[in-house]
Amino acid sequence: MGKNLNAQKTAVVIGATGNLGSAVCEALSAAGYWIDPTWTRPDHPDVTQPTAYDNLPEKIDVAIYLAGVNRVAAAESLSEADWDRVFNVNLKGLFLFAQKAFPALKAAGHSSLIAISSIMATHPYPNRLAYAASKAGLEGLIRALAVEWGEHGIATHALRLGHLSGLMKSTVTNPELLNAVRRHTPSGSLVEPTEVAKYISWLANGGCASISGSIIDFDPAYTLNRWPL
């Protein structure tokens, strides 16, 4: 079994090896969390396999799912294999993690499940069908678990993330995309991973006790800006 420190809060961060994951782990460590090392290693388990979550800690104060992949292809040419891969990582992995983590989240008394959604769920770009659909499903899962798990003291949250200051490793796209996003963002800035990490740490440490099932628009008004000039 994973390490269990009753006197210390415990975090499991799926997707800990990415840029955002590293920032989240750093913020949680600074806040005094013990972080399950299984997912901070390069040879971490495959998030799409149920057995990946067999050795979770006995108590989890915050369970965070950051894993995600994208496939850029026109809807009519998107392969079934690519569709399955995106859904398996973005949505099935979250389901498997949440299901296996439930006893440990319940054991913590007051705990949180936090996942990363995307502005693509509500403002999809062309050629990102699987990604947009999987993130919309993720938001539905977060809402449903808020209803089911609230009685156990488990709060659920999703961050509907705007453009980070760097593209996903799995996305092959026009390098001018981020410059165009900046031009259409009122502040001219993108989302910094450290800012996301600070917000996740705040949620993990209680955040607002009156909120669960929330889908938080973590975006500097890029998706709101419809000013045409």
Number of CB atoms found within 10 A of residue 95's CB: 15
Catalytic residues: 131
Helices 19-30 & 193-204 angle (0-180, nearest 10): 40
Nearest to 207 by CA among 151, 161, 157, 162: 157
Nearest to 65 by CA among 130, 7, 150, 134: 134
Three-class secondary structure of residue 171 per DSSP? coil
Three-class secondary structure of residue 105 per DSSP? helix
Q: What is the DSSP string of 115-147?
A: EEEEGGGTSPPTTBHHHHHHHHHHHHHHHHHHH
Rounded CA gap, 150 and 227, in Å? 40
